[in-house]
Amino acid sequence: MNEPIPVTRTVDHGTAKLMPDLDRPRAWLLTVDGAPQSYVDLDDPGHLEFEYARRLAHVLDATGEPGAPLDALHLGGGALTLPRYLAATRPGSRQQVIEADGGVLELVAEQLPLPPDGAGITVRRADARAALEAAPDASADVIVADVFGGSRVPAHLTSVAYARAAARVLRPGGAYAANLADSAPFTFLRSQLATFRSVFVEVCLIAEPAVLRGRRFGNAVLVASQSELPVGALARRTAADAFPARVEYGAALERFTGDAAPVRDEDAVPSPEPPGGAFSVG
């Protein structure tokens, strides 16, 4: 049997590579300009290789009634890791995926296609904020934002106006979850917490202790809702991961946020550039 071979393609925003995982027969890593974007196992969509993806999945698992279908809006598509996960764990879910890079969409559709029936997943090429602002009121149970221009979160997805659009689109009891990245002194991450706390009643942050202590650059998942967050369930799930994370909430989160101010559109900046080698793959 022939081994799968890597695929390299010029896409809208750089060079994309699909690299097979030789330990898992139908698993692939997607990178763009060397930065990991997605890992997907076509035979086992419940297998999440990246820790931040597991943390986002914990939010999906804890939203709504256990196992019940969800209406999900994914901002950022990549190889459709989390849409595939949700389709497998909550059959009948309706999911819309927004991806700005048409080249990535074509590559994934060609090399890592969805099942013939689509599994309830609709993929559309569009800007994440434009799609969010065009979405109907109260149309999503969960919004997952995993949008990176290269290795940075775009500035227009960091402001109060953007957070308000997310709040409008969520149904009562719904949750917004975003993959962010930063390091000490956490200027960007603290500004995002201040921004979402100015719009949402409840906010928490999931990250590894080493990242929160400023020892290294890394991912952090921001979760926001107008209803009570399942902080206990999230804490238990993230603590049990191979790389355990901590859930910051309440007074501890207030201390971490400090005197950071909410971000206006006119002041918005992208997340910081990762230090050399932080996320790159050869």
* DSSP codes, 8-43: EEEETTEEEEEEE-TTSTTEEEEEETTEEEEEEESS
pLDDT digits (tens, 9 = 90+) for 45-103: 999 999 999 999 999 999 999 999 999 999 999 999 999 999 999 999 999 999 999 99
How many Å apart are CA 61 and CA 93, to the nearest integer?
12
Strand order in the sheet with 246-248: 121-125, 94-99, 71-75, 140-145, 170-182, 218-225, 202-207, 246-248
94: how many CB neighbours lie within 10 A of its CB? 17
What pLDDT score does 150 carry?
76
Residue matched to tokens 């309830």: 120
Cis peptide before 45 (omega within 30 of 0): no
DSSP-derived 3-state class of residue 177: strand
Fold of 44-267: Rossmann fold (3.40.50)
3-state helix, strand, coil in the chain (%, to 5): 30, 30, 40
DSSP H helical ranges for 143-214:
160-169, 187-197, 209-212
DSSP string, 107-162: HHHHHSPPPTTGGGEEEEES-HHHHHHHSPTT-EEEEEE---BTTB--GGGSSHHH
Residue matched to tokens 């971000």: 263
What pLDDT score does 2 carry?
63
Give the orientation angle of helix 51-62 with respect to helix 81-89, to 10 degrees. 40
Sign of CA dihedral 155, 156, 160, 162: negative
Spell out, as residue ranges, where the chain has pLDDT lower than 50: 280-282
What pLDDT score does 35 carry?
86
What pLDDT score does 3 carry?
72
What pLDDT score does 280 carry?
44
What pLDDT score does 278 carry?
57
Question: What's this model's pTM, rounded to 2 decimal places?
Answer: 0.95
What pLDDT score does 9 carry?
93
- CB–CB of 52/62 below 8 Å? no
Q: Token pair for residue 223? A: 């979760």
How many Å apart are CA 76 and CA 267, to the nearest integer?
23
